[in-house]
Structure 1
Amino acid sequence: MREGPVRTVVTGLGVAAPNGCGTAPYWAAARQGVSGIGRVSRFDPTNYPARLAGEIGDFRAEDHLPGRLLPQTDRMTRIALAAADWALADSGVDPQALPEYGMGVITASSSGGFEFGQRELQALWSKGGRYVSAYQSFAWFYAVNSGQISIRNGMRGPSGVVVSDQAGGLDAIAQARRQIRKGTAVVMSGGIDASICPWGWVAQMAGGRLSTSDDPERAYLPFDARARGHVPGEGGALLVMENLEDARARGAASVYGEIAGYGSTMDPQPGSGRPPGLRKAIELALADAAAAPDEIDVVFADAAAVPELDRIEAETICGVFGPRAVPVTAPKTMTGRLYSGAAPLDVAAAFLTLRDGVIPPSVGITPDPEYQLDLVVGQGRPATVRSALVIARGHGGFNSALVVRAA
């Protein structure tokens, strides 16, 4: 058994986002406020009320994966496999050099392989069951990213999938931290989602929170009086996580920082009169990190762009930190909400903020003064950042919060 507290750190990042495929391109775009939101191109959105999305336009699976994997994988999984390769390369971890059960993979998922499933359903109804791919048995599944990453890299340690919508990305990272504290050497965690297809689009519209604006620069406006819902997107981030002592012992090239604290709650039943659970999740994360509110240098907001949800989040942030007392940002305004991939991408951005001392901005927003938030807008803001808080909420009442800090 290891002696003393186990500090879990991130040593590798694999990012795939609409405004940059790869960590360096994404981060360069995010610092400068460059958006990846535009009109949907993966299908014709003309007859749908919502027609904008954050798409990864420069990703070709054939450039990153062997041909044998393409017939059996959804776009979501192809992106995840490539991001896993990038994260491993960044960390310098070789899964084959670890003990047989020394590395696991715990991802989050919100939609599963919607595009693959839609194609096979079309084959079923138009041609018959003989024309449905055998790969449909797993390519649609929520756990498929964890499974395919595990198979491709021989990761046989503690693994799984977490399904709690946008909060799931933080929940998966927290679960990975638990496994490292129990003795697993390395865990890959995070989330990648991609469901920009007619079937996925209808499912997202059913939630009633998609923006119907056709102006990419004004469609997704959290904490703005013009807020009218969010723009969906595809992508996310995968992180290589390990014990700090082990990372230092092997001479890890990069230690981005520590996963220091985590908290999660569920909102009460609507109409119950009880307060939302978001503040408690943040307080649990701060307590877990042994951090006072004034030690947090920036908050990465959930940023629903639904007026009532924005009000709850703003009141919670002000209640914990004080009005305009901490910089708040929502870089997902440049990518859209990536569902299970959104919070891991924010975590990656938080670690890059720690490294480079630049808070990425929220774009397109004219902050509503009623929210009393110090929103970082327009361009990146230089700042000394040692600790950051990432907030994520999932449809149905999930609340999660994660504290990251310099190691």
Structure 2
Amino acid sequence: MGIVAPNGIGTEEYWAATLAGKSGIDVIRRFDPQTYPVRVGGEVLAFDAPAHLPKRLLPQTDRMTQHALAAAEWALADAGLEPEKHDEYGLGVLTAGGSGGFEFGQREMQKLWGTGPERVSAYQSFAWFYAVNTGQVSIQHGLRGHSSVFVTEQAGGLDAAAQASRLLRKGSLETVLTGGFEASLCPWGLVAQIPSGALSRATDPRRAYLPFDAKAAGYVPGEGGAMMVLERADAARDRAAASVYGRITGHASTFDARPGSGRPAGLARAIRLALDEARVDPDDVDVVFADAFGTTAMDRAEAAALSDVFGPAAVPVTAPKTMTGRLYAGGAALDTATALLSIRDSVVPPTVGTDEAGPALGLDLVLHQPRELRVDTALILARGTGGFNSALIVQRHN
């Protein structure tokens, strides 16, 4: 795996910061946010693109794609996988995308209106595109097998990983790079997010994102994500893979009906279907990585789904995204990587900021400090704007 996050660049730096409760959420610094109603975000500030990417790629890529390219390189190195030694048509890329290259697009629009169309970069034709990470990673590493992008917002990272595992089981691919990234914290990108009404308007970074708290008032937007190498267990064993973090064993996605329809939300059903595919019982789940939307209604709905499936406070629940913000297409991929690190090290990272789960929620929320326990089975949840629900089961590799 390879990780780029607001609180750490690279897997081990991110993991150490997460276990220490170190947050990457702060007042936005890359531009002056004082005239905006939302002023706090989870920015990736420490990433040095020229240090990680070929010079020729810098002028043609948005920051989102630069993060994805670096993380893909790190994931391949972590897996000890050299693409040139494999069938190029057996290697694929499945990523989650949503906003696309917002900052690149803003810069080119400023050129268009400020200096004229002749100054607009030809790379704008693809650098903005939500599928560009899949394309650039595929080109950079010569991965010519099935490649695609999943546009289900926060749920996309789980949907992409699950589809990758299905293609592996079918024999359609030998190896897949999967993950998701977002980097839309720029003036144009922020303006596009504000109308949802779901973003926190708190000015204190420590109190801006409080999922499951009685004072929850929205989420903090973030940027970054994770990339992971997926392959069949026998293939990893045959080539003596350098790192094996765990197995994807179950997944399900559902879709909520429109508000006011009277039909129940689909999150609990997604959880049950994922458990069924993994052939595990609710009692077998050691930890849940929550979607943690950060508004009262959405948090209550998630807590109700968990209580419905597991019983009240029956399983530890955590939301390490309280240290990064919600990363949209990158969020679920980062949660999946974090869950696999929890399995590796037998520790559950904390939820920070939240002081106390609302008394009616019935959650065993891991607060403030990591909780040491053996993690064999983890459930990751994600919901995307518009009604997407996704649930993924990852387990220890024996």
TM exceeding 0.5: yes
1:387 aligns with 2:367: no
Question: How far apart are 1:233 and its partner, in Å?
Answer: 0.6
Find the aligned partners of 1:150 and 1:364 in 2 and give their Cα distance.
38
The aligned counterpart of 1:4 is: none
Question: How far apart are 1:100 and its partner, in Å?
Answer: 2.4
1:29 aligns with 2:17: yes
Find the aligned partners of 1:121 and 1:284 in 2 and give their Cα distance.
45
1:53 aligns with 2:9: no
Find the aligned partners of 2:294 and 2:376 in 1 and give their Cα distance.
28
The aligned counterpart of 1:7 is: none
Give the fraction of aligned pairs with identical amino acids, expressed as a percent: 61
The aligned counterpart of 1:260 is: 249
Q: Which amino acid aligns with 1:96?
A: E
Find the aligned partners of 2:46 and 2:186 in 1 and give their Cα distance.
17
Find the aligned partners of 1:187 and 1:111 in 2 and give their Cα distance.
23
Q: Which amino acid aligns with 2:317?
A: V
Find the aligned partners of 1:348 and 1:14 in 2 and give their Cα distance.
9
The aligned counterpart of 1:203 is: 192
1:398 aligns with 2:364: no
1:334 aligns with 2:300: no
The aligned counterpart of 1:76 is: 64
DSSP-derived class of the 2:105 partner = helix
| Unmatched tracts of structure 2, length 5 or more | none
The aligned counterpart of 2:368 is: 378
The within-5 A match list for 1:332-371 is 332-366=321-355, 367-371=357-361
Question: How far apart are 1:255 and its partner, in Å?
Answer: 1.1
The within-5 A match list for 1:212-291 is 212-291=201-280
The within-5 A match list for 1:11-160 is 13-160=1-148
Question: How far apart are 1:227 and its partner, in Å?
Answer: 0.3
DSSP-derived class of the 1:167 partner = helix
Find the aligned partners of 1:396 and 1:143 in 2 and give their Cα distance.
19
DSSP-derived class of the 2:153 partner = coil
1:275-296 CA distance string (max 9 Å, x none): 1011111111101101110000
DSSP-derived class of the 1:47 partner = coil
Find the aligned partners of 1:72 and 1:205 in 2 and give their Cα distance.
28
Find the aligned partners of 1:343 and 1:115 in 2 and give their Cα distance.
22
For normalisation by structure 2, the TM-score amounts to 0.98
Find the aligned partners of 1:45 and 1:145 in 2 and give their Cα distance.
28
Find the aligned partners of 2:122 and 2:210 in 1 and give their Cα distance.
42
Correspondence for 2:176 among 146, 168, 187: 187
1:285-342 CA distance string (max 9 Å, x none): 1011011100000000000011000000000001100101000000000000000111
CA RMSD of aligned residues (A): 0.7
The aligned counterpart of 2:161 is: 173
| Unmatched tracts of structure 1, length 5 or more | 1-12
For normalisation by structure 1, the TM-score amounts to 0.96
DSSP-derived class of the 1:101 partner = helix
Q: Which runs of 4+ in 1 moved over 6 A?
A: none
Find the aligned partners of 1:60 and 1:148 in 2 and give their Cα distance.
18
